[in-house]
Amino acid sequence: MMPDTSTDALRLLKLRKSPKIFDIVAPGPNTAEIDEMLTIASRVPDHGKLAPWRFVVFEGAGRDRAGAVIAEVFQKDVPEADADRVNIERTRLSRAPLVVAVVSKAAPHVKIPEWEQLLSGAAACTLLVLAANALGYVATWLTEWYAYDVRVRTALGLAADERIVGFVHIGTLARPQEDRPRPALADIVTRF
């Protein structure tokens, strides 16, 4: 058998996976680690150097306040929902110790297509996931219905033309994870 000569970085990139949300537990990153992750995420390819994205950090009680917003909107839409169902919505952002919303500010621009600005936001989100893993944590990128609800977005401080790229849930892995089947290269690669 060939010896494994992968660097730590390669091992991380080859093995990274997203845990189920309830398998992401405390402790989460501290303030210095959060700053380090966000610095890495903002070092993303960015056509035009527009920084067409920003980050909103939800920790501690901030997660509960955001959950209250989500629950209130849910209750308006589904008034018949019982308390347990509403509580699922109320606790949406308090399952992991840290949630970072990656927000896209992509907008029409004279030179840089809006699409490319969006892609840069998605790449920043990916870098954030990788940075969390590199620091020894795990991360899962979620959107769910509330990322697309304008009332929730407004209450969380987003402008009308801002969009949620993802809510990245970050913390410590509770138990070993099973991987999922990955695409076979033969199915996704052609040579021109």
Ligand X SMILES: Cc1cc2nc3c(=O)[nH]c(=O)nc-3n(C[C@H](O)[C@H](O)[C@H](O)COP(=O)(O)O)c2cc1C
Site residues (CB under 6 A) for ligand X? Answer: 17-18, 140-144, 166, 180
Distance CA(118)–CA(161), nearest Å, equals 12
Output the smallest distance, CB 132 to ligand X, in A: 12
Output the smallest distance, CB 133 to ligand X, in A: 10
Output the smallest distance, CB 129 to ligand X, in A: 8
Distance CA(31)–CA(4), nearest Å, equals 34
- Measured from the CB atom, is 79 or 176 closer to ligand X? 176
**DSSP H helical segments within 42-168, as ranges?**
60-77, 83-90, 114-134, 150-155
Output the smallest distance, CB 3 to ligand X, in A: 27
Sign of the C-alpha dihedral computed for residues 29, 94, 130 and 184 taken in this order: positive
Distance CA(33)–CA(21), nearest Å, equals 21
- Measured from the CB atom, is 142 or 156 closer to ligand X? 142
- Measured from the CB atom, is 85 or 163 closer to ligand X? 163
- Measured from the CB atom, is 6 or 143 closer to ligand X? 143
